[in-house]
Amino acid sequence: MIGHASSIYNILASLNYKGPYSKNVANALVQLQCGGNVVSTSTTNGSGMFSILLDPLNYILSSILSDCNLKVDTPLIRCNSSLPALGGLLSPLQFIGNTALGALLSVANIIPAGFRFVPSN
């Protein structure tokens, strides 16, 4: 690689079920899909948190925001037995700002814009 990356894209969030039986969703597989292809994955920790880092030399921020989604296929029944057993969550992405790391590096922070239920086929 010639030169250096001046920024890193960081997609971060907490995956929590909010309802009568609020619960963190631990060990859920989170996929970053761009153009229908899985480009990165992460697994939520015990608090339902996850982070995905992307190299800005391979992705343009505007393309990430317009062409990519976060997908969670973990059965929602794990959160609450009254929820559907089949299906998952899908969310577009939203840029919330940069975090400077020294004089030459910044992190573009991206979060889910809002998960919605998607039934499985």
Predicted TM-score (pTM) of this structure: 0.78
**Are 42 and 33 contacting, i.e. CB atoms less than 8 angstroms apart?**
no
18-33 burial, b if ≥16 CB within 10 A, otherwise e? eeeeeebbeebebbbb
Task: Say yes or no to pLDDT of 3 above 50.
Answer: no
Q: Which of 115, 34, 11 is nearest to 72 (CA)?
A: 115
* Of the candidates 120, 48, 47, the residue with the CA atom closest to the CA atom of residue 88: 120
The token duo for 44 is 């939520």
Residue 109: how many CB atoms within 10 A of its CB?
Answer: 16
Within 10 angstroms of residue 103's Cβ, the number of other Cβ atoms is 6
CA 104/CA 48 separation, integer angstroms = 31
Q: Which residues contact 20 (CB under 8 A, 6 or more apart)?
A: 80
* 12-53 pLDDT, tens digit each: 555 554 544 446 677 888 899 999 899 999 988 888 888 888
As a whole number, mean pLDDT of residues 102-113 equals 84
Of the candidate CATH numbers 2.60.120, 3.30.70, 3.90.1310, 2.60.40, the domain formed by 7-116 belongs to: 2.60.40
CA distance 93 to 16: 17
